[in-house]
Chain A
Amino acid sequence: MIRAKYINEQTPWQDLTPGGEIYEPGTAREFNTGTWRTDTPVFVVEACKHCMLCVPFCPDSAIPVKGGKRLDFDYMHCKGCGICAEVCPFPGAITMVSGGVPS
């Protein structure tokens, strides 16, 4: 069966998944919403206390966590809303900069 990442506007209907259903989990991860950003959060790991308060507030699940550490942003999915920078209690850990970079 064709994988979601190979399906696009040019795919003939005969090749689409049966019933137009989606057979793999979390295929939205293939889609880049990072290009939506007009502002970008910048993470400074030295200022982060790994309190995790920003993580559940991210509407785009774009703050990865591993082994008790908050990692750098997933810029392929971060839309630059800035909610994380507002909830972070530690100055300098998350700063919003103008523009859609880095990506």
Chain B
Amino acid sequence: MKRVYNLKQEVEKPPRLTGGHRLCAGCGAGVVVAGVLRALNKEDRAVVTNATGCLEVSTFMYPYTAYMDSFIHSAFENSAATCSGVEAAYNALKRRGKVEGTVKFITFGGDGGTYDIGFQSLSGAMERGHDMVYVCYDNEAYMNTGIQRSSSTPRFARTTTSPVGAKNQGKKQEKKDLTDIMVAHNIPYVAQTAPLGNFKDLHTKAYKAIYTEGPCFMNVLSPCPRGWDYPMAKLAEIIKLAVDTCVWPLFEVEEGVWHLSYMPKRKLPVEDFLRPQGRFRHMFEQGNEWMIEAAQAYVDQRWERLLERSGA
């Protein structure tokens, strides 16, 4: 399982998510999906399942597919069930000697498709123990239908259904901790990651998730320049700030053992992450200092808990 990561070698592989898809310029989802699929061994095949969302409508538009592997989409709420069904069918064919080679099963769902509407489907597939990976590309709102709040949207974020005005100051509730909930499924592997630096973290976690037998889950931060309202060229910087402020910590849980993947050299104040994004702009208005304090207190409390659990 342990392999040395080499970026030069990895980018030499032909991409399994091709150009020509219709995700917005600078969309994090393309980076996340190409990054996860890059972890597949070159000779292996995959079946990619997708929940409805920006990724699905942009990468699979008849007669154009951006995947080099098989792809199946059925609905918004059942991508994990769809994937688990394909995996079961494959096992049945394999038993009868009707299919050869290694085939891996990977589902991508947005946060709406994962934290909310597809949650029961995901929970069931994980509990049944299918040999599959579920990857949530978390852009923290329903982007494809015009930026509605989801249970993944962080507190105070402005969306079209958690607007900012005289009566309302962005989302009222905290972000649901889905990664934690997936750990509670006692599955072999759960990871939280993001595209960062030389992609070692994302790559090694994707490799583990794909090649660990049984159900595995990855939660990957996937900035959306439209919904988050930042200049699209700043993708890498926004992600780095999410990680260095501990808003989006990198960790993995292998067979129930928590492991912190990255300790920021200097933990930055959350406002460094909030400031460049239009969705948090109102938090910097006079009189709203308490919002930044509340956001900081929430991050600190979550971070302390993670340090405790991972013994870091």
Number of cross-chain contacts by CB at 8 Å: 134
- Checking A26, A32, A50, A82 against B65 with a beta-carbon cut-off of 8 angstroms, the contacting residue is A26
Q: Which of B8-16, B127-135, B175-183 contacts A (4 or more CB under 8 A)?
A: B8-16
Are the C-beta atoms of A59 and B27 separated by less than 8 Å?
A: yes
Give the dominant DSSP class at A's interface: loop
CB 8 Å contact bits of B6-31 with A (1 = contact, 0 = none): 01101110010111111111111111
B233 within 8 A of A: yes
A91 within 8 A of B: no
Which residues on B sit within 8 Å (CB–CB) of A76? 19-20
A61 within 8 A of B: yes
Q: How far is the CA of A68 from the CA of B62 in the complex (A)?
A: 34
CB 8 Å contact bits of A17-52 with B (1 = contact, 0 = none): 100101011111111110011000000000000101
Are the C-beta atoms of B64 and A27 separated by less than 8 Å?
A: yes
Are the C-beta atoms of B237 and A86 separated by less than 8 Å?
A: yes
Q: Which of A70-103 contact B (CB under 8 A)?
A: 74, 76-83, 85-87, 96
B215 within 8 A of A: no
Are the C-beta atoms of A61 and B65 separated by less than 8 Å?
A: no
Closest chain B residue to A23, Cβ basis:
B63
Q: How far is the CA of A49 from the CA of B11 in the complex (A)?
A: 15
Counting chain B residues whose Cβ lies within 8 A of the other chain, the interface size class is: 35 or more
Which residues on A sit within 8 Å (CB–CB) of B19? 28-29, 33, 60-62, 74, 76-78
Q: Which of B44-98 contact A (CB under 8 A)?
A: 59-69, 71
Counting chain A residues whose Cβ lies within 8 A of the other chain, the interface size class is: 35 or more
Are the C-beta atoms of A60 and B30 separated by less than 8 Å?
A: yes
Are the C-beta atoms of B68 and A25 separated by less than 8 Å?
A: yes
Q: How far is the CA of A27 from the CA of B63 in the complex (A)?
A: 7
- Checking B10, B65, B195, B197 against A27 with a beta-carbon cut-off of 8 angstroms, the contacting residue is B65
Closest chain B residue to A86, Cβ basis:
B233
Closest chain B residue to A83, Cβ basis:
B235
Are the C-beta atoms of A83 and B69 separated by less than 8 Å?
A: no
Are the C-beta atoms of B11 and A81 separated by less than 8 Å?
A: no
Which residues on A sit within 8 Å (CB–CB) of B31? 56-59, 83
Of the candidates B11, B24, B34, B35, the one having the most CB atoms from chain A within 10 angstroms of its own CB is B11
Nearest-neighbour CB distance to chain A for B56, whole angstroms, equals: 13
Which residues on A sit within 8 Å (CB–CB) of B38? 56
Which residues on B sit within 8 Å (CB–CB) of A79? 24-26
Of the candidates A24, A50, A52, the one having the most CB atoms from chain B within 10 angstroms of its own CB is A52
List 16 contacting pairs A-B, 8 Å CB cutoff, sorted by A.
Answer: A4-B64, A28-B59, A28-B61, A30-B20, A30-B64, A59-B29, A59-B31, A60-B20, A68-B8, A68-B12, A78-B19, A83-B232, A83-B235, A86-B233, A86-B234, A86-B235
- Which A-B residue pairs are the 7 nearest by beta carbons? A77-B19, A59-B30, A82-B233, A81-B26, A28-B20, A79-B25, A4-B63
